[in-house]
Amino acid sequence: MDDYPLLNLFLTMLYLFLWVMWFFLLFKVITDLFRDHSLNGWAKAGWLVLVILLPYVGVLIYLIVRGRSMHERDEKLARDSEAAFRDYVRRAAGTEGGSSGSGHVNDLAKLAELKDKGAISPEEYEQAKAKLLA
């Protein structure tokens, strides 16, 4: 350990960090390349060959030429995922609007409102609630 100075250790760690970051960037470019639906197969193959044969130059060219659209595709994917999640939550909670009813939560709220107004008796409310929850 005496023949390996502290500065060399820091440089080795820096090189290792840069090497790992390089692979993250390379994988990001390749996944973006396959996620892009606006490119045809030949264009994807050309970019892939460029990125694999000339990795540093190819990735830098890809980022310069297609960096903005890469960001837009990431934003669109995030928006689509968020919308799909919200739609799933709405369907799972049963609060989706529709002509045949809005789900158990809204039906129970309507029953409680009818009971509070006196339109139905507490016994009728309990029967309807039991029927709805069954």
Cα(83)–Cα(89) distance, integer angstroms: 10
pTM value is: 0.57
Half-sphere exposure of 5 (CA within 13 A, CB side): 3
> What value, to the nearest 5°, has the Cα angle with vertex 121 and ends 117 and 127?
120
Give the pLDDT of residue 98. Answer: 47
Print pLDDT tens along the chain (134 aa). 568 888 899 999 999 999 999 999 999 999 999 998 888 999 999 999 999 999 889 999 999 999 889 989 999 999 999 999 999 888 887 655 444 445 677 788 888 888 888 888 888 888 888 888 87
Give the pLDDT of residue 83. Answer: 92
Torsion sign, CA atoms 34, 35, 36, 41:
positive
Cα(31)–Cα(25) distance, integer angstroms: 10
